[in-house]
Structure 1
Amino acid sequence: MINAPLDLDAVRAFVRIAELGSFTRAARATQVSQSAISLKLKRLEERLGCRLVDRTPRHVDLTQQGTEFLQHARILLEAHDRALAMVIEPRQRLTIGISDHVAGPELPAVIARINAEAPQLVIEIQIGSSDALLQQFDRRELDVAIVRFDADRDDGTILCRERIGWFAAPGWSHREGLPLPLATMPDPCGMRKLACETLDAAGLAWREVFVGGGVAAVSAAVMARLGIAALSPRMLPPEAVDVGAGLGLPALPHLPIALHSRATTADSRSAIDALSSAFRSAVRG
């Protein structure tokens, strides 16, 4: 039974010799002399009690024991390097929640911008409703939440204000005398609440014709001509039409997008700055 630990430098030297097929090249790769790497191999062989390498004038061959040991040596070194990296240079994780009504088609570009600014961070992004994301943020399950502004809170920073309209598919028309067909997301969606309360306040009859589990589903229902929806124009295909004025519907307010953050490190703050700039650019665009 082997009790004494292996010398990892000697194991690494053996792996380099095996991979490069030469003591000279292995010595150059590890920046030591050829005699030093030969000595490391000799000590490893003595420690294991077997010959790992057959030396010939032209090249180096592994013995059967050397071939069998090589796989285990690589696994040992990989485990050592992973463990060391976790202690010396752990990768920070930044967990971001983005409202489904905010994320939009620009999300791939937003992610790329964050990664370009802070490539060393592990970025985790969750998409959900503003209400649910704020609850997660309060439970410290999220480092950052980008959501529709909540008037009951005073801890967020307004990034920008986004136009909201009543959108329909090209050529869609409303049958006069019938309630307005509305595509929405389920409660407690804030956009649904805004749309319904705005129509009720104006005394306009409406009926729910579609409930989608996300903005993409609501947008698809609109483009399928099921009805209209209150959405940001960037959440819909370019050909979608704002029918609010034509139908005499009440104007919807520009809604703020709020950032909630508890970032503490310089890398996290840089990533959040990039994230904020990306959303400002998306809304302006």
Structure 2
Amino acid sequence: MKMTSAPLDLDAVQAFVRIVDLGSFTRAAEAMRTTQAAVSLKLKRLEQRLGCRLVERTPRHVELSARGAAFLDHARQLLEVHERALSAFVSARERLVIGISDHVAGPDLPALIARMNAQDPQLVIEIRIGTSSELLQSFDRRELDTVIVRLHAGRSDGEQLADEKFGWFAAPSWQHRPGEPLPVATMAEPCGVRVIAGRFLDEAGISWTESFVGGGVTAVVAAVTAGLGIAALAPRMLPFGAVDVGQRLGLPDLPRLPILLHTRVRDGRPRDALAALSAAFRSVVKG
């Protein structure tokens, strides 16, 4: 592949970085609010400009080539310099206030925020964590620009970003004492996951009791790790070593629970940042 003399296209450089960060042409297109075909064309033109293949494409995933790995840091620096140059002429920084459900945020939150910042370093991002019910109420009162929550009973609005598998998890050494109610660690009401988990246990005729009530998923995970009981959680929320005990205990299968985006942001820089965040959520929610 022969290098051309044309200047670098910043959109093509951004497409390359998005493909690498999100591991998918589809997710990169979502983040850039364009089509997969357009992203593929941008990358092809960048590769033609540089005279080498940057990404190795396979049916399941994308991988950096050796030349792509060497170019990646330069690509990020180029985009950062471009943003700094633009920011010198921006008089006021826009703000985006986002509420994210505690059952959605998880350990991936720092990386997701970083993706939004990479999309627009000059955008002020304010994140608030709470239950889906609380955040939806704040959104309806126009206290939040956007919320990312679990499915909430009585509402059918919102854009579905992904759906996520849930299971019954416990510490590896934990054992249920025969004849005793199943000890369940959960969040306080009005947590939607708590309601669903309790309903499924009741419908299956399984006797259970609260062994721990936490103010957030982090506290519930800590209780599971400490051996206080089991919890209904998404696998990505769990620390290394926690095990799914649902089949062993004969517990009912939990449904896949959707992650929904509610927003009043329709255009401009905040919408571009939300597109990047939505694509990132879709890339980290697996299983």
Q: Give me the TM-score of the superposition, normalised by structure 2.
A: 0.68
% identity of equivalent residues: 64
TM alignment of 1:114-193, pairs within 5 A: 114-193=116-195
Q: CA deviation at 1:99?
A: 0.1
Aligned to 1:64: none
Structure 1 range deviating more: 145-154 or 248-257: 145-154
Aligned to 2:221: 219
TM alignment of 1:91-130, pairs within 5 A: 91-130=93-132
Is the contact made by 1:137 and 1:143 (CA closer than 8 Å) also made in structure 2? yes
TM alignment of 1:241-256, pairs within 5 A: 241-256=243-258
Q: Which runs of 5+ in 2 are unaligned?
A: 1-86
Q: CA deviation at 1:153?
A: 1.8
Per-residue CA deviation, residues 233-254 of structure 1 (Å, 9 max, x unaligned), is: 1111121100000000000000
The runs of 4+ residues in structure 1 deviating greater than 2 Å are none
Is the contact made by 1:149 and 1:158 (CA closer than 8 Å) also made in structure 2? no
- Letter aligned with residue 249 of structure 2: L
- Letter aligned with residue 263 of structure 2: S
Is the contact made by 2:152 and 2:192 (CA closer than 8 Å) also made in structure 1? no
Aligned to 2:271: 269
Aligned to 2:51: none
Separation in 1 of the partners of 2:116 and 2:160?
A: 19
Aligned to 1:29: none
Per-residue CA deviation, residues 233-285 of structure 1 (Å, 9 max, x unaligned), is: 11111211000000000000000000001113320111101111111111127
Instruction: Provide the alpha-carbon RMSD of the alignment.
Output: 1.5
Separation in 2 of the partners of 1:88 and 1:148?
A: 36
Per-residue CA deviation, residues 78-129 of structure 1 (Å, 9 max, x unaligned), is: xxxxxxx9x9722110000000000000111001000000112110000000
Q: Which runs of 5+ in 1 are unaligned?
A: 1-84
CA, structure 1 residues 88+240, in 2 after alignment: closer, same or farther (shift >3 Å)?
Answer: closer
Separation in 1 of the partners of 2:182 and 2:151?
A: 27
SS of 1:257's partner is strand
Aligned to 2:25: none
Separation in 1 of the partners of 2:285 and 2:233?
A: 13
SS of 1:172's partner is coil
Is the contact made by 2:162 and 2:285 (CA closer than 8 Å) also made in structure 1? yes
SS of 2:247's partner is coil
Q: CA deviation at 1:182?
A: 0.5
Q: Give me the TM-score of the superposition, normalised by structure 1.
A: 0.68
Per-residue CA deviation, residues 167-206 of structure 1 (Å, 9 max, x unaligned), is: 0001211111110000011111111111111111111000
Aligned to 1:235: 237
Separation in 2 of the partners of 1:210 and 1:120?
A: 42
Q: CA deviation at 1:151?
A: 4.3
Q: Comparing both chains, which one has the higher relative contact order based on Cα–Cα distances under 8 Å and sequence gaps of 6 or more? A: 2
Aligned to 1:198: 200
Aligned to 1:210: 212
